[in-house]
Structure 1
Amino acid sequence: RKTMFFPSILMFQTFPCFGGCSKVFSFKRYLTIQSHAKCVSVIKGYRFCTTSSTDGDLTGSNSAKAMENTPAKSSSSKKTKRKQDPMEPAPPASSFPSWAFDKRDYFRFELVHQSKLSRARVGRIHTPHGVVNTPGFVSVATNGALKAVDHRAGDAAGCELMFCNTYHLLLQPGPETIAAMGGLHRFVNRDRPIITDSGGFQVFSLSHGSVHDELNMKSRAGRNNWANTVLKVREEGVDFRSYRDGRPVHLSPETSVLAQKAYRSDIIIPLDELPPYHITTEKLTHSVFLSHRWEARSLREHLKDLREQAMYCVVHGGIDLNLRKHSIEYLSSLPFDGFAIGGSLGKDKDELIDLLRFLMPHVPVDKPNHLLGIADEESIRRAVPWGVDTFDSCYPTRVARHGYLLTFDGVVRLRQGKYATDARPVQEGCECHTCRNYSRAFLHHLIKASEPIGSTLMTIHNLHHMNAAMARTRQAILDGHV
């Protein structure tokens, strides 16, 4: 039996043990006795606990004795506490065990073809739950489910790798529930590859919004009473308020990894900080160094129990090319299994492509790479020649729910009245379920009537279109056109 430490999630009024212990304490009382308490629950043979110097329960005399024996913290001890240097370098590659650099027999990248015209390439990512063809589109299932469609429909539309979100699944239903169900694949009943992120992106992006929001001086605070506010970012991790009920939550590199271990996803991502677009070079540098230290801690936690999971690092640095180079040089020296390009990727597509033009030649070619959160068709078309393997975005499913259908001839806006009597399918020759069975006129009617099935049918088409477009892209590379 292996012991893993999982700090509890704090609540305003009560403190339940993360593993489901029945003992509940007030938040104030928890703060008093937290360093002496230990609650343990066993999930699938693993022990999740909050640890302390006192190996006892939290009830009656034991907790009283624990509090009585607590040495008072003097003011001098606070003064002597070492302040974290924001420029402290992350651990070097030599601090990791030599076996960590060995190739994984359960995860590998296979290069099928390298273009002679560009850095574009065709490959295959081999995972325990199947193969992912690259360049490929990664569908987003934030809460473990694609919006408006089930996994069978998504699989039929050609979806291979699916992206689930640690932040949302951490809050509902929780890692302990998913672990008890045998992991994400069994929980959602899908036997294809799954990738999960660390949760950090949602924590920070929900706080200060997207780059678009920031440039337009918009804030998401007005949309939610709790404002999804980041309470504090420190060396240990990040404290934030839950978007569901406003309770304080602490997320650290270790807890993020342990949550993803409970999910048993094929590819996991370490915790990183996502700074806003408008930030000074000094603060951006501090953020990159912090992300590197967090990622090294995440990797160290991951290596304790591989569970046939691969871990991608996240390359940071914003649009500062020197910091990007520093980030990829450091992270490529560590035993990560792939590279995710994250952080602020620019205010528009031109800045994104300029960044990729500089960065991609520095990314190791023997491992897969992923562009986080970017998967609109124009960005994919411009990024593939620079060697990007996979792209994720909720764009196809989101626009489908608003009546925007993707085709090889452009976007069809089905809300427009001119489609009310259009008997054609959305895309001539498309083999998706929607195009084989329904007309534009009927889909237009469903939108106007606010029928939920309309979102389902249009989402099926958009997912099918994205995967068909990626198949065309792969063939174009093989044929020497890209």
Structure 2
Amino acid sequence: MTQRFQFSVGATDGKARTGVIDTPRGQIRTPAFMPVGTAATVKAMLPENVRDTGADILLGNTYHLMLRPGAERIHRLGGLHRFMNWQRPILTDSGGFQVMSLADLRKLTEQGVTFRSHVDGSKHTLTPERSMEIQRLLGSDIVMCFDECPALPADRARIAESMRLSMRWAQRSRDAFGDRPGHALFGIQQGGLERDLREQSAEALTAIGFDGYAVGGLAVGEGQQAMFACLDHAPGMLPADKPRYLMGVGKPDDIVGAVARGIDMFDCVLPSRSGRTAQALTRRGAVNLRNARHAEDPRPLDEACTCPACRNYCRGYLHHVVRSGEIIAAMLLTWHNLHYYQDLMQGLRTAIAESRLQDFIRGFHALRAEGDIDQV
């Protein structure tokens, strides 16, 4: 097994590519979807079951873990992998987005962000240096540099100011990260929907030098059309020999469109959150198991799916446990949704390798357009 972090592109089809990220904890097949384990757990799932869905890597959240139970405690208990019983790669975000979206009474300066915890009101300061320290204590394999992400819409001056601050923080993150063989640091491109600001950000990050690059600041309210317009050019600004990660995306059709535009890595809470709210994500689109139409349906959720929810239970049962508030409902639907996402990623990887991505995409959209199977 490699002791270094390295990325190799296997095949391309248009802008899309398939490849492998080698890490000391195992390989990550790209395009890759990372289930979100916010607080050292993928909700309603055991780690071995997450792996059974086909996941090669999980995402952990620096902001939540620093507040509870604390990075120092996790370090004393053997690091995040041992703590949560997941021995494969883990990516941790920097905490910047959650500070902006969740924390109370935050104050932003050149140095960093001071804020009060949404958990207990305690006061904290997060800087590039502290973010690197927390992620080192957690022991994550892929570390994200600390950045600021303004909510869209925002005016150009605000976006430009924020991007330049993030680039200064990127250099400080790089300096604080130091030399950690086997661990990777990713830079985060910012610049909103402004093409020239994205270009400036990419140039600054490339000059600093990172092991991978993220496209940040999207999926924050701008809509799919605007996001795709940005992705038509933003990934190509980043080094082609490094992984490209679209943060916080997304819905299945977002992922398919972004893969076609050159993105290699994704994360989103959607499949697990939907599983806890009675939404099953299928090849035919979303299915709401609360609806009475499923009450006496003896068929599986998706006849082509091999997850336990589809293999062992009928729609009538899933409807029953959802309406009864049974814990197994969240377990089965989350497992199904994560399985569906990994199945989608495998389908994309195979299509790229066989140079038939456009056929795959046409089939993907055609089946979704048909909608759910007819009621019994």
Aligned: 1:172 with 2:46: no
CA shift in 2, pair 1:183/1:307, >3 Å:
farther
Task: Kindly provide the CA deviation profile for residues 78-119 of structure 1, in whole angstroms up to 9, marking residues without a partner as x.
Answer: xxxxxxxxxxxxxxxxxxxxxxxxxx951000111011xx10
C-alpha contact 2:114 2:125 (8 A) present in aligned 1: yes
Once the two structures are superposed, the pairs formed by residues 387-398 of structure 1 within 5 Å of their partners are 387-398=262-273
Code of the aligned partner of 1:326: Q
Aligned: 1:306 with 2:177: no
C-alpha contact 1:230 1:238 (8 A) present in aligned 2: no
Specify which of 170, 175, 179 is matched with residue 295 of structure 1: 170
For residue 124 of structure 1, what is the aligned residue in structure 2? 20
Aligned: 1:323 with 2:197: yes
Higher alpha-carbon deviation: 344-353 or 326-335: 344-353
Task: Kindly provide the CA deviation profile for residues 440-463 of structure 1, in whole angstroms up to 9, marking residues without a partner as x.
Answer: 111100011000111001100110
For residue 368 of structure 1, what is the aligned residue in structure 2? 243
For residue 109 of structure 1, what is the aligned residue in structure 2? 7
C-alpha contact 1:276 1:344 (8 A) present in aligned 2: no
Shift of 1:244: 0.5
Shift of 1:274: 1.1
For residue 371 of structure 2, what is the aligned residue in structure 1? none
- Distance in 1 separating the partners of 2:251 and 2:106: 32
SS of equivalent to 1:122: strand
SS of equivalent to 2:306: coil
For residue 8 of structure 1, what is the aligned residue in structure 2? none
SS of equivalent to 1:124: strand
For residue 242 of structure 1, what is the aligned residue in structure 2? 117
SS of equivalent to 2:21: strand
SS of equivalent to 1:333: helix
C-alpha contact 1:169 1:175 (8 A) present in aligned 2: yes
Code of the aligned partner of 1:167: Y
Once the two structures are superposed, the pairs formed by residues 320-359 of structure 1 within 5 Å of their partners are 320-345=194-219, 347-359=222-234
Task: Kindly provide the CA deviation profile for residues 347-392 of structure 1, in whole angstroms up to 9, marking residues without a partner as x.
Answer: 1000000001021221111000100001210101111111100110
C-alpha contact 1:120 1:386 (8 A) present in aligned 2: yes
Once the two structures are superposed, the pairs formed by residues 6-405 of structure 1 within 5 Å of their partners are 106-115=4-13, 118-206=14-102, 228-303=103-178, 305-306=179-180, 308-345=182-219, 347-405=222-280
Task: Kindly provide the CA deviation profile for residues 382-440 of structure 1, in whole angstroms up to 9, marking residues without a partner as x.
Answer: 11111100110000111111111111122221111111111111111311122121111
Task: Kindly provide the CA deviation profile for residues 322-348 of structure 1, in whole angstroms up to 9, marking residues without a partner as x.
Answer: 100100011012221000110245610
**Structure number, greater radius of gyration:** 1
- Distance in 2 separating the partners of 1:403 and 1:278: 31
C-alpha contact 1:368 1:389 (8 A) present in aligned 2: yes
Question: Taking structure 2 as the reference length, what is the TM-score of the superposition?
Answer: 0.92
Aligned: 1:412 with 2:287: yes
- Distance in 2 separating the partners of 1:409 and 1:255: 44
Can you give the 5+ residue segments of structure 1 that lack an aligned partner in the other structure? Answer: 1-103, 207-227
- Distance in 2 separating the partners of 1:390 and 1:284: 24
CA shift in 2, pair 1:375/1:280, >3 Å:
closer
Identity of aligned residues (%): 39
Code of the aligned partner of 2:60: C
SS of equivalent to 1:159: coil
Question: Taking structure 1 as the reference length, what is the TM-score of the superposition?
Answer: 0.72
C-alpha contact 1:197 1:269 (8 A) present in aligned 2: yes
- Distance in 1 separating the partners of 2:157 and 2:292: 53
Shift of 1:168: 0.3
Code of the aligned partner of 2:191: G
Code of the aligned partner of 1:109: F
Shift of 1:479: 1.7
SS of equivalent to 2:133: helix
C-alpha contact 1:205 1:274 (8 A) present in aligned 2: no
- Distance in 2 separating the partners of 1:307 and 1:183: 17
Code of the aligned partner of 1:152: E
Shift of 1:307: 5.2
Code of the aligned partner of 1:125: I
Shift of 1:230: 4.1
CA shift in 2, pair 1:464/1:270, >3 Å:
same
CA RMSD of aligned residues (A): 1.3
- Distance in 2 separating the partners of 1:230 and 1:364: 37
- Distance in 1 separating the partners of 2:120 and 2:5: 38
Shift of 1:292: 0.7
SS of equivalent to 1:332: helix
Shift of 1:279: 2.5
Specify which of 325, 328, 332 is matched with residue 450 of structure 1: 325
Specify which of 332, 343, 348 is matched with residue 468 of structure 1: 343
SS of equivalent to 2:233: helix
Shift of 1:276: 2.2
C-alpha contact 1:130 1:192 (8 A) present in aligned 2: yes
Can you give the 5+ residue segments of structure 2 that lack an aligned partner in the other structure? Answer: 358-376
Code of the aligned partner of 1:422: D
C-alpha contact 2:25 2:88 (8 A) present in aligned 1: yes
